[in-house]
């Protein structure tokens, strides 16, 4: 499993990154959360609002920061 957080470094992007790390820790997954901040790479995913979460190359959501419990659900589903 590969988890990426897309964001250019805005407040909400950092929030999502921290939250995702926390979720991964709580779920006891052995996954590295990668931060993608290069704008060209972000746009290549076809999204236009940040932050966004990508799991195994699939965009799960964009433009908002969900609650921790929702985020865990999303990660569990993969």
Q: What is the 3-state secondary structure (H, E, C) of 10-30?
A: CHHHHHHHHHHHHHHHHCCCC
22 binds another protein (CB under 8 A): no
Binding segment for another protein (CB under 8 A), chosen from 17-25, 29-37, 56-64, is 56-64
Catalytic (active site) residue 75: no
Q: What's the distance, CA 6 to chain centroid? A: 6
Interface pick for another protein out of 13, 16, 33, 53 (rule CB under 8 A):
13
Q: What is the C-alpha separation between 66 and 52, in angstroms, rounded?
A: 10
Peptide bond into 15 cis (omega under 30): no
Interface pick for another protein out of 18, 27, 39, 68 (rule CB under 8 A):
39
Q: What's the distance, CA 54 to chain centroid? A: 5
10 binds another protein (CB under 8 A): yes
The binding site for another protein (CB under 8 A) comprises 7-8, 10-13, 39-40, 42-43, 45-50, 59, 62-67, 70
């Amino acid at each position: 499993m590969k988890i990426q957080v897309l964001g250019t470094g805005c407040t909400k992007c950092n929030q999502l990154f921290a939250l995702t790390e926390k979720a991964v820790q709580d779920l006891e997954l052995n996954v590295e959360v990668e931060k993608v901040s290069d704008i060209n790479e972000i746009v290549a995913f076809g999204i236009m609002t940040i932050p966004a979460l990508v799991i195994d190359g699939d965009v799960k959501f964009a433009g908002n920061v969900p609650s921790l419990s929702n985020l865990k659900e999303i990660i569990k589903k993969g």
